[in-house]
């Protein structure tokens, strides 16, 4: 049984991703709109970004990237939660799940935004798996988190963002259920992404991704192109409701009705 949610209050939103800058690159537009709608928004990068540099050693880089993530969260009016893992050390195992589940229980979100379950990068996929299992376990009193947090059975809906490049690691295209029109907040989204200066340098040096913000805008244009009369958009897939919420519980579109364009109703 799911506890009844107070529909008079805007939802609590937890954005949980792998690395610093993933939130800003993939779906900060949606988060800014949810914040404007009165939601309590939480940013969480589960990995610390410690390996993404040709210049900084890991410990120094982790501190730098945490400071950059904090700057972005402050600009967005969001609460930032600290990372739990090093880069390439995000694994789907029992100790990791207990730590992730503790944060999910503490925040008690009704909207949970995370990576696609099929992505080009293993850290992204493992974060998605951990987040889904943590959300599933949140109402189980017998499941012990690390540190301990009380179980809660509030309804929660998980939404998966498009992977970078809009294809998974096997080249299969991402197919969104709905789009969020982000044209009105794109300038602020760029400012948030611009906080991650060390990541911009890394991507330009190792992946040829010059004009970091232009790459982000192009992804928004490509997603908008599958809709109607949109300039920039972020696409989302709904996780199946079973184990999380009633079938008609869909708080993201209901919170942002004027910004939503449905594509694939499931």
Give the pLDDT confidence of 51-83 residue by residue, as tens digits.
987 788 999 999 999 999 999 999 999 999 999
Find the length of the chain: 266
Residue 151 CB neighbour total at 10 angstroms: 15
Residue 109 DSSP code: -
Burial classification of residue 59, based on how many CB atoms lie within 10 Å of its CB (0-12 exposed, 13-18 middle, 19 or more buried): exposed
pLDDT at 167: 95
- Give the model's confidence band at 261: pLDDT under 50 very low, under 70 low, under 90 confident, else very high: very high
Q: pTM for the full model?
A: 0.94
Q: Domains along the chain? A: 12-262 (3.40.50.10320)
Residue 116 DSSP code: -
pLDDT at 1: 38
Q: How far is CA 8 from CA 4, 12, 176, 255, in A?
A: 12, 12, 28, 11
Per DSSP, the residues of 11-32 read PEEEEEESSTTHHHHHTHHHHH
Q: What are phi and psi of 236, to 5 degrees?
A: -140, 145
Residues 253 and 246: their CA atoms lie apart, in Å, by 15
Instruction: Take residue 81 and report the two structure tokens written for it.
Output: 């939660």
Per DSSP, the residues of 47-102 read B--TT--SSS-HHHHHHHHHHHHHHHHHHHT-EEE---B-TT----SHHHHHHHHH
Instruction: Take residue 116 and report the two structure tokens written for it.
Output: 């696609």
149 Cβ partners below 8 Å, 6+ apart? 101, 102, 105, 106
Burial classification of residue 176, based on how many CB atoms lie within 10 Å of its CB (0-12 exposed, 13-18 middle, 19 or more buried): buried
Encode pLDDT of 108-147 as tens digits. Answer: 999 999 999 999 999 999 999 999 999 999 999 999 999 9
Q: Which of 172, 157, 167, 170 is nearest to 235 (CA)?
A: 167
State what percent of residues in the chain have pLDDT above 90: 85
* Widest CA span in the chain: 52
């Amino acid at each position: 049984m799911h506890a009844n949610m107070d529909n008079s209050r805007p939802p609590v939103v937890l954005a949980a991703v792998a690395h610093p800058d993933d939130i800003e690159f993939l779906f900060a537009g949606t988060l800014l709109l949810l914040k404007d709608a009165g939601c309590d928004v939480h940013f969480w990068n589960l990995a610390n970004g410690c390996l993404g540099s040709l210049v900084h050693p890991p410990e120094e880089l982790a501190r730098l990237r945490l400071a950059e993530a904090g700057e972005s969260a402050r600009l967005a009016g969001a609460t930032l939660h600290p990372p739990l893992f090093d880069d390439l050390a995000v694994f789907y195992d029992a100790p990791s799940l207990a730590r992730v589940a503790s944060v999910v229980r503490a925040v008690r979100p009704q909207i949970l935004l995370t990576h696609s379950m099929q992505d080009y990068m293993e850290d992204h996929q493992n974060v998605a798996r951990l987040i889904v299992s943590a959300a599933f376990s949140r109402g189980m009193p017998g499941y012990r988190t690390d540190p301990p947090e009380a179980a809660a059975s509030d309804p929660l809906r998980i939404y998966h963002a498009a992977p970078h490049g809009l294809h998974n690691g096997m080249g299969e295209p991402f197919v969104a259920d709905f789009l969020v029109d982000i044209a009105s907040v794109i300038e602020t989204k760029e400012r948030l992404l611009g906080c991650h200066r060390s990541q911009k340098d890394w991507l330009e040096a190792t992946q040829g991704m010059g004009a970091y913000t232009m790459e982000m805008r192009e992804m928004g244009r490509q997603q908008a192109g599958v809709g109607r009369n949109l300039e920039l958009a972020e696409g989302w897939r709904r996780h199946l409701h079973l184990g999380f919420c009633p079938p008609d519980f869909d708080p993201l579109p209901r919170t942002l009705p004027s910004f939503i364009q449905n594509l694939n109703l499931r």
